[in-house]
Amino acid sequence: MKYEKKVSLGAWLKKGEDVKDGDLVKIANEGKRTSGEYGEQDVFLMKTRDKEGNVSINQTSINNWIDAFGDDSVNWIGKEVKVQVVKMSVQGKVKPVYFFLHPDTILDEESGEFIIPDKSKESIPIVESDESGDYEADEANAAAQVAAEQDKAEQ
């Protein structure tokens, strides 16, 4: 029979003790995929205010990090994420499920998905007249600003 060498990942943070709902923690390494008790796990070193340890990160959290920080986990190192705990049915029992999400992430009540609000919906600045006498351009600019304000009000 052949055996596989197992590598120790170090200390683990305890969910509910070291890491709680609403905590802000930092991603401290690029992660490691390892075989665990329940199959493949993505394990990341996380830093709390006073501790450092490993946490198994679920795919929903990883998808959120990809949306927020890009798809290369090297770029995630040092990023701050917020812990959100949601009680869910897991294997027929209601249990707390820990999500590690971009701090601006919200739970969309309609879709049931975590989303990061679009930061690109900032107001469009009005470009003042350059005193060239181009009043048609000024009127078009003013009309565009009114339309942008109306779009913003409808959201």
DSSP 132: S
Question: Is residue 37 pLDDT above 90, yes or no?
Answer: no
3-state class (DSSP) for residue 141: helix
pLDDT tens digit string along 38-53? 789 999 999 999 999 9
Of 17, 111, 19, 27, the C-alpha closest to 62 is: 27
Tracing tokens 């683990």 back to the chain, one arrives at: 12
- Is this structure's pTM higher than 0.85? no
Distances (CA, A) of 40 to 31, 77, 127, 152: 13, 21, 54, 44
Q: Where are the alpha helices (DSSP H) in 3-154?
A: 59-69, 135-154
pLDDT tens digit string along 110-129? 988 999 987 444 444 555 54
Contact between 99 and 114 (Cβ < 8 Å):
yes
